[in-house]
Amino acid sequence: MLRWNKGISDTDRPLAEAVAAIAVDNTIIVSLVNSGYLDFAENWMISISRQGFGDRVLLFAEDQEAFDHIDARWPGHVIMYNYSSIPRAGESAHDFGSLGFFLMTERRPDYLRAVLRLGVNVLYNDLDMVWLKNPFTAFTGDFDVWVNDDWTDDTGLEAVHPLQKDRRFPSHYHPNICSCLLYMRPTAQSYQLLDTWAGLMSLKDWKPPIQDQPFFNKALNMLKDLKVGILPQRQFPAGCLYFADDYWRDAFGDEAALVHNNWIVGHDVKRQRFQNLGIWFVKQL
Per-run averaged pLDDT (10 residues), the chain, 285 residues: 48 87 97 90 97 97 91 94 54 47 72 94 96 96 90 48 44 67 97 92 61 83 89 90 91 95 89 96 77
Question: How far is it, in rounded angstroms, from Cα 58 to Cα 251?
Answer: 34
pLDDT the model gives residue 158: 42
pLDDT the model gives residue 212: 73
pLDDT the model gives residue 35: 87
pLDDT the model gives residue 214: 80
Pick the closest to residue 87 from 104, 70, 72 (CA basis).
Answer: 104
Number of residues that make up the chain: 285
pLDDT the model gives residue 173: 46
What angle, rounded to 10 degrees, do the helices at 213-222 and 188-202 form?
130
Pick the CATH number of 13-276 from 1.10.10.10, 3.40.50.150, 3.40.630.10, 3.90.550.10: 3.90.550.10
Strands 164-165 and 145-149: unpaired
Question: How far is it, in rounded angstroms, from Cα 68 to Cα 4?
Answer: 27
Q: Which residues pair with 271 in a beta bridge?
A: none
H helix intervals, the chain:
13-22, 38-50, 64-73, 99-116, 188-202, 213-222, 239-242, 246-252, 267-276
pLDDT the model gives residue 221: 85
Question: How far is it, in rounded angstroms, from Cα 184 to Cα 226?
Answer: 11
pLDDT the model gives residue 157: 41
* Per-residue burial over 124-136, b = 16 or more CB atoms within 10 Å of its CB, e = otherwise: bbbbbbbbbeebb
Mapping DSSP to helix (H, G, I), strand (E, B) and coil, where does residue 119 land? Answer: coil
pTM (predicted TM-score): 0.85
Rg of the chain, C-alpha, whole Å: 18
C-beta separation of 66 from 31 below 8 A: no
